[in-house]
Amino acid sequence: MYAVTGATGRLGRLVVNALLRTVPATEIIALVRTPAKASDLAAEGVIIREADYTRPETLGPALFGVDKLLLIASSDLGNRVPQHKAVIDAAKAAEVELIAYTSVLRADTSQLAVADEHRQTEALLKTSGVSFVLLRNGWYTENYTFSIQAVLKNGAILGSTGKGRISSAARADYAEAAAAVLSAREDQSGGIYELAGDDAFTMSELAAEISRQSGTGVVYRDLPEDEYRAALVAGGLPELYAKSFARSSAVASRGALFEDGHQLSKLIGRATTSWKDTVAAALKS
C-alpha cells in the first residue's frame, strides 16, 4: 500500500494522480486533514484516511498497513520539525517500510531560509530506523507565476536574486518524480535525489518572457534583501514568510537554486516542463 500525506494539497493531489497511472486506486491511501475535500479521489477508488500533522493521534490509524509513505513537507514554517517527527514516529510504529520525504535542493549545505527545517527532518529520518529516500526539490516554477496578474498590473517583478539562475520545474514534474520513486520496484533506501528543471532562467529573463507572451511591459526590479522583505510585508505577507522569501531570493543570487544534474528529467523519463510553458499556462488561467 502506498500513502501520500497532504493528498489534497497542490503537490499531493498531483502525486496521487501520477500514482493512479501505474498503481491500482485500491492500493493508494490519500492522507488528508479534511476527508470531505478528497471526495473526487474517493470517487476514483482511492482510500481516504484522516491524518493531521498537528494531531498525532490521527497518524497511527492512518498509517496502518502502509508499505511506502510519501511525507510531503508541511507548509507551516517554524513548526515543521515537530510535525514531521510526529509522522516519522507514527510510521516507525506502524512498521512502514520506506519513507520518501520532499526536502529542498542540496538541503545539507543550502543557505535557503527553509533549509534548516529540512536538514533537521533529514536528521530525524537518519536516526529513525526506518528506510528513507530524500527528494530534494528545487523551486516550483509556479512560485513565480501564481501572481502573474499582479505582475502584469504593476509592470514589475520584485526580488533580490540579481543575476542568479533558477533551475525550476513545474509542480507536476516533481509530483511525477515522487510517484516514480514511491512505486519503483528497485530498492530506493538511502537514495538522495537533487531535483531541478533542465532549463534555468534569471529573473530578468522571466520578466522579459512574461512581457513577450502577454504584450505588457514587465521589468525585474532587484532590491536589497531588507527592502524586498519590507515590500512583501507591505503586500500583506506575514513577517515570518516575508523574511523567509526574501532570504531565499537573496541566496538564489549566489546559485542556491541552480542545479544542472538533470536528475528530475531522468526520473520522469522526459524533459522537464519548460518554464516558458508554465508562464503561458499562467497567462491563460
CA 101/CA 111 separation, integer angstroms: 19
pLDDT 10s digits, 211-221: 999 999 999 99
Q: In what order do the strands lie in the sheet with 2-4?
A: 47-50, 28-32, 2-4, 68-71, 98-104, 131-137, 192-195
**C-alpha cell, 14:** 498531483
pLDDT tens figures, 5-29: 999 999 999 999 999 999 999 999 9
Percent of the chain with pLDDT strictly greater than 90: 99
Output the pLDDT for position 206. Answer: 98
pTM, two decimals, is: 0.96
In degrees rounded to 5, what are phi and psi of residue 259? -155, 130
Query: For the chain, what is the mean pLDDT?
Result: 97
pLDDT at 285: 87
Q: Which residues are CB-contacts of 42 (< 8 A; sequence separation ≥ 6)?
A: 48
Stretch 110-122: mean pLDDT: 96
Given a cut of 90, whether residue 279 has pLDDT beyond it is: yes
> Is the pLDDT score of 161 beyond 90?
yes
DSSP 106-132: TTTT---TTHHHHHHHHHHHHHHSSEE
Q: Which amino acid is at 145?
A: T
CATH annotation of 2-137+169-194+261-268: 3.40.50.720
Phi, psi (deg, nearest 5) at residue 189:
-55, 130
**Residues 31-55 pLDDT 10s:** 999 999 999 999 999 999 999 999 9
Mean pLDDT of 102-122: 97
Euclidean distance between CA atoms 210 and 202, whole angstroms: 12
Instruction: Give Cα separations from 231 to 158, 217, 219, 221, 240 (angstroms).
Output: 8, 21, 16, 12, 13
C-alpha cell at 60: 497511527
